[in-house]
Amino acid sequence: MRHIQYCCVFLFSLLASSNVYALDAAASGECIGGTHFVSVSGYYIAEDDGEISGLVFKCEAIGVCEPSFFYPETPLPFVAPPNPDTYPRYHAEFSIDPPIEGVAYRYTPYGVRPDGSLVSTWHHCDGDSRSYALVSCSEVPIARGRLVYSFDCYGDFCVRLESCEANCWTEQIWTVWDYVTVLELSDGSGEVLYDQIVDVFGERTYCTMPGGDKYTISRFSLSADSDCGAVSIDNLNWGSLKAQFR
């Protein structure tokens, strides 16, 4: 059962006018009592290329081969500014009980035009263009893949994650880790985990500076599925998932 609570507050910032169309958006979220609370804010610029009448989110379970869906069914209201010489800064919130427990969800905001068509969003905060939120209620993997050798460390031994994207592990982590970091993140078993399928635990960062880390990784763990498989949703619950990922 999905529930929604939302409030929208539109604040207007006096900025120079522009003849381009743009919807800048940055989403973030947290889990409280098993419910995902997601918010989005940003700037809206529109002249001759149409208008935004609502907001929806593309919801994707990470590591589960289930179709994505858009939520809420009735878009969150989005009110255009009365003064065409200003850029409005908007804010909207909603909550949802995730359909599948024990996995991370990606929530990507989209603008909705009056005709129902969708408008993609980007967040232009420093060097970080990601507009989506990544939310989970417990320590669950945000990525799965093989740790393979990387040539990007100028002579040092480094690895990167070759994601199991074909098995619905769609959160791409492009970070390169050196040998010492691999040892630290894998409890001293870095040599064993090299060329192995691992689960990656952590969270994404927000408003990352150019060249900065786009994820805060807490640990690697040997995956229970050596074939790069997706999370099974048969009788899925947090107790069984926690036992699987210990």
Does 162 lie in the same domain as 125?
A: no
pLDDT of residue 230: 72
pLDDT over threshold 70, residue 126:
no
Does 166 lie in the same domain as 118?
A: no
Only one residue has tokens 């939302």, namely 6
Domain boundary among 86, 111, 135: 135
Q: What is the mean pLDDT of residues 235-243?
A: 36
> Which residue in 70, 117, 115, 129 sits closest to 94, CA to CA?
70
DSSP 60-87: EETT-----EEEEEEEEE-PPPS-TTSE
How many domains does the structure of the chain reveal?
A: 2
93 falls within a domain? yes
Does 156 lie in the same domain as 110?
A: no
pLDDT tens digits, one per residue of 50-103? 578 899 999 999 999 999 999 999 999 886 555 556 567 788 999 999 999 999
pLDDT over threshold 90, residue 237:
no
Does 81 lie in the same domain as 169?
A: no
Does 198 lie in the same domain as 117?
A: no
pLDDT tens digits, one per residue of 13-54? 222 223 334 688 899 999 999 999 999 988 877 653 457 889
246 falls within a domain? no
pLDDT over threshold 50, residue 9:
no
For residues 106-129, b (16+ Cβ closer than 10 Å) or e, as one string? bbbbbbbeeeeeebebebebeebe
DSSP 88-99: EEEEEEEEE--S
Grade residue 234 by pLDDT with cuts at 50, 70 and 90.
very low
Does 191 lie in the same domain as 126?
A: no
Does 40 lie in the same domain as 121?
A: yes
Residue 119: CATH number of its domain: 2.60.40.10
Does 91 lie in the same domain as 189?
A: no
Residues in Cβ contact with 95 at an 8 Å cutoff, skipping those fewer than 6 apart:
3, 4, 5, 6, 35, 36, 37, 38
**Are 146 and 198 in contact, with CB atoms under 8 Å apart?**
yes
Does 120 lie in the same domain as 151?
A: no
Domain boundary among 110, 135, 160: 135
On the CB side of 207, CA atoms within 13 Å amount to 8
Q: What is the mean pLDDT of residues 205-230?
A: 80
Residue 168 to residue 31: CA distance in whole angstroms: 22
Does 128 lie in the same domain as 39?
A: yes
**Are 245 and 199 in contact, with CB atoms under 8 Å apart?**
yes
187 falls within a domain? yes
172 falls within a domain? yes
Does 72 lie in the same domain as 169?
A: no
Does 191 lie in the same domain as 82?
A: no
Q: Which residue has the higher pLDDT, 225 or 14?
A: 225
pLDDT tens digits, one per residue of 189-204? 777 788 899 999 999 8
pLDDT tens digits, one per residue of 171-189? 999 889 988 888 889 877 7
Domain boundary among 109, 135, 161: 135
Q: 25 lies in which domain range?
A: 8-135
**Are 78 and 6 in contact, with CB atoms under 8 Å apart?**
no
Lowest mean pLDDT among 71-75, 103-107, 242-246: 242-246
